[in-house]
Amino acid sequence: MKFRSTRDPESSADFCTALERGIAPDGGLYVPVSLPRHSIDDFDGCDTLATVAECLLRPFVEGTALAPELADICSESFSFPIPLLRLQDGPEQLSVLELFHGPTAAFKDVGARFLAASLERMNADRERPLTILVATSGDTGGAVAAAFHGRPNVRTVILYPLGLVSPRQEKQLTCWGGNVTTLAVKGSFDDCQRLVKQAFADPGLREAHRLSSANSISIGRLLPQTVYYAFASLSLWRSEARRPGFIIPTGNLGNAQACVWARSMGLPIADVILATNANRPIPDFLESGEWRPRDSLATLASAMDVGNPSNMERLRWQFNDDIEALRAAVGAISVDDAQIREQIAAEFQRNGRVWCPHTATAMWVYRHFSEKRRAEKHWVVAATAHPAKFEEIVEPLIGRSVEIPEQLAALLELPVKATRITPELDQLTKVLG
Whether residue 307 is contained in a domain is answered as: yes
Coil/strand/helix, residue 63: coil
| All residues at 6 or more sequence positions from 203 whose CB lies less than 8 Å from its CB, including other chains | none
Quote the number of domains for the chain.
Answer: 1
Query: By residue range, what is the domain housing residue 277?
Result: 81-107+221-404
Residue 179 lies in a domain: no
Cα separation, 259 vs 247, in Å, equals: 10
Which has more confidence, 166 or 373?
373
The answer to whether residue 26 scores a pLDDT higher than 80 is yes
Question: Are 309 and 282 in contact, with CB atoms under 8 Å apart?
Answer: yes
Pairing of strands 419-421, 154-161: unpaired
**pLDDT tens digit string along 95-114?**
999 999 999 999 999 999 99
Residue 350 lies inside a defined structural domain of this protein? yes
Measured CA to CA, the distance from residue 302 to residue 386 in angstroms comes to 14
CA distances (Å), origin 114, targets 74, 121, 351, 407: 7, 11, 34, 19
Closest CA to 106 of 63, 39, 169, 167: 169
Q: Angle, to 10 degrees, between the axis of helix 254-264 and the axis of helix 219-240?
A: 50
Residue 252 lies in a domain: yes
Distance of CA 284 to the CA centre of its chain: 21
Residue 163 lies in a domain: no
Average pLDDT over residues 119-125: 89
Q: What is the CATH number of the domain that holds 276?
A: 3.40.50.1100
Q: What is the mean pLDDT of the chain?
A: 94
Whether residue 304 is contained in a domain is answered as yes
Domain assignment present for 62: no
Inside any domain, residue 63: no
> Is-contact 216 303, C-beta < 8 A?
no
Q: How many CA atoms lie within 13 A of 233 on its CB side?
A: 26
List, for residues 378-416, the tens digit of each pLDDT value: 999 999 999 999 999 999 999 999 999 998 898 888 888
